[in-house]
Amino acid sequence: MTAEAPTTSEQLVAKLATASAGRGRRLLVNVALYVVCMIGALAVASVIIVVATDADPFDVFHAMYEGSLSRPSAIGLTLDRAMPILITALGGVIASRAAMINIGLEGQVIVGGLLGAVVALKLGLPVAANLPLTLVASALGGALWAGLASLLRFWRNVDVVISTLLLNFVAVEVLSFALNKSYLLQETRDNVQLLPQSDRLPSAHQLTRLGSPPGFSVSSGIFISLVLAGIVIFALGRTRWGFRLKMLGMNPNAARAAGVSMAAVGGGALVLSGALAGLAGGVIFTGTAFRIQPGFSNNNGGDGLLVALIARRNVAATIPVAFFFGAMRAGGGFLASTGVPRYLVDVVQPLLVLAALLPPAILFVWDRRKALRLAREEAAAHERPALGAAA
C-alpha cells in the first residue's frame, strides 16, 4: 500500500500538469485567433474604405478614437451609449441561458420606453415618485411584451425566435400609433404643427448627470447598468435559479427529469429578459433622449443581442463588449461630423462583430473534428484485437 502511494500521487500530479498545460495552450490559441481575426477585420474594413470613399483608413479610425476615447467628454458619451446596450445584453444572456433566443429585444425596448413615458408624462405623479415609477413601468412594459412571446410558446408552441422577431414590427406600429394620437403621447404644444413625438420630459424627472459639459459628463443610469450586471452575475453563478437555468439550457430533457419546469423557469427567463430590455428603454428616455420619437430606441436592442451573442452566456464579458459597442456609436457620431460618411461605421462594426464570433466557431469545429478522429482511432483499436482473436 505504501509503495503504491507515491506512484498514485505522481500520476495525479502528471494529470494535473497535463490538464493545466492543455488549458494554457488553448488560451494561447484563443488569444491568437482573436488577434488574427481582428486584424483581418480591420484590413477588410480598410480596403472597403479605400474602395468606397476617398478617405484614408487611418483618418477614419483616428476620428472614431477621437469621438469615443480621446478626452473625458468623449468617454462620457461612450458610457452613455454603452449604458442601455449593457442592460439589454444582460436580458439577452439570461434568455439564452435557458435556451430561449430572444430576438425581440428591440421591440421590448420600444414598449418599455413607451409605457414609461405614459407614466412620466400623463399621470402627474409627485417629483419624488415619478422617476422610479417610470423605470418600473418601463420594465413592466418590456416584461409584458416578452410575456406575449412566452405565452405563445407554452400555449400554442410558437417558436420563440419567430414570435419575438415579429413582435418587433408590432412594437414599431404601436409606437407610431401612440405618437400620432393627441389623447396618448403626441406632444401638446398649442398653435404649432404637432409632430409625431412626445412632450419633453421635465428636467426634474430626468436621471441626474455626473459632471457637466464640456468636461466629463455621464448619466447616473450607468450605475443602474453596472449594479444590474453585478446582480445578474451573482444570480446566475451562485443561486439555485441560475443553476436551473443552466440545466435547462444545456439539456432540457435532463432538466425536466430533475423537476425543472420549462414553462416556469424558461418562460420566466424570457419575461425577465424583456423586463431588462424595457428598463433599458426607460433609461434611454429618462437619461439621454428625454422624449419619445420614432426610432428613439436607435437599435439598442439589436446591439444588446449582438453583445449577448459575443459574450456567449458570460455575463461579465458583456461589460467590456457593451463598452466597445458604445465606443463605436460615439466614434461614429464624431466621424459624421468630420465629413466622412457615417455608414462606414455600419461597415466596420459588423466586421468586428464577425471577428469576435469567429474564434469560438473555429474552436468548436476544431474540437468536433478532434473528437471524431479520436473516436475513429478508438474504434479501430478495438477492432484489431477482435480480428486477431478471430484469426
Which tens digit of pLDDT belongs to each residue from 81-91? 999 999 999 99
pLDDT per position as a tens digit, 173-229:
999 999 998 888 888 876 566 778 899 999 999 999 998 888 899 999 999 999 999
Q: Which of these ranges, 60-64, 92-96, 98-102, 236-240, has the smallest mean pLDDT?
A: 60-64
Query: From its phi and psi, is residue 85 left (phi > 0), alpha (psi between -120 and 50) or beta?
Result: alpha
The per-residue pLDDT for 365 is 84
Here the cell at position 374 is 479520436
Here the cell at position 63 is 476620428
pLDDT per position as a tens digit, 27-56:
788 788 888 888 888 888 888 878 877 777
Mean of the pLDDT values across residues 305-316? Answer: 86
Mean pLDDT taken over the chain? 86
Higher pLDDT, 380 or 150: 150
Higher pLDDT, 65 or 137: 137
Here the cell at position 48 is 472597403
Higher pLDDT, 281 or 10: 281
The per-residue pLDDT for 219 is 93
Closest to 167 (Cα-Cα) out of 143, 183, 185, 136: 143
Buried b (16+ CB within 10 A) or exposed e, 202-212: eeebbbebeee
The per-residue pLDDT for 2 is 47
Mean of the pLDDT values across residues 222-247? Answer: 94
Q: Global pTM?
A: 0.86
The per-residue pLDDT for 266 is 92
What are the beta bridge partners of residue 211?
217
Task: Flag whether pLDDT at 5 surpasses 50.
Answer: no
Closest to 106 (Cα-Cα) out of 228, 278, 271: 278
pLDDT per position as a tens digit, 253-307:
888 888 888 899 999 999 999 999 999 999 999 999 999 999 899 899 999 998 9
Task: Flag whether pLDDT at 122 surpasses 80.
Answer: yes
pLDDT per position as a tens digit, 156-179:
999 999 999 999 999 999 999 999
CA distance 81 to 69: 13
Asked if residue 214 has a cis previous peptide bond (ω within 30° of 0), the answer is yes
Higher pLDDT, 331 or 92: 92
Task: Tell me the pLDDT band of 339, cut-offs 50, 70 and 90.
Answer: low
Which of 59-73, 137-151, 320-334 holds the top average pLDDT?
Answer: 137-151
Task: Tell me the pLDDT band of 1, cut-offs 50, 70 and 90.
Answer: very low
The per-residue pLDDT for 335 is 73
The per-residue pLDDT for 57 is 80
The per-residue pLDDT for 309 is 86
What is the β-pairing status of strands 209-211 and 217-219? antiparallel
Q: Which of these ranges, 61-65, 234-238, 354-358, 381-385, has the smallest mean pLDDT?
A: 381-385
The per-residue pLDDT for 380 is 78
Task: Tell me the pLDDT band of 116, cut-offs 50, 70 and 90.
Answer: very high
Task: Flag whether pLDDT at 383 surpasses 80.
Answer: no
The per-residue pLDDT for 391 is 58
CA distance 7 to 356: 44
Higher pLDDT, 346 or 308: 308
Q: Which letter does DSSP use for residue 56 in this model?
A: -
What are the beta bridge partners of residue 141?
none
Higher pLDDT, 23 or 332: 332
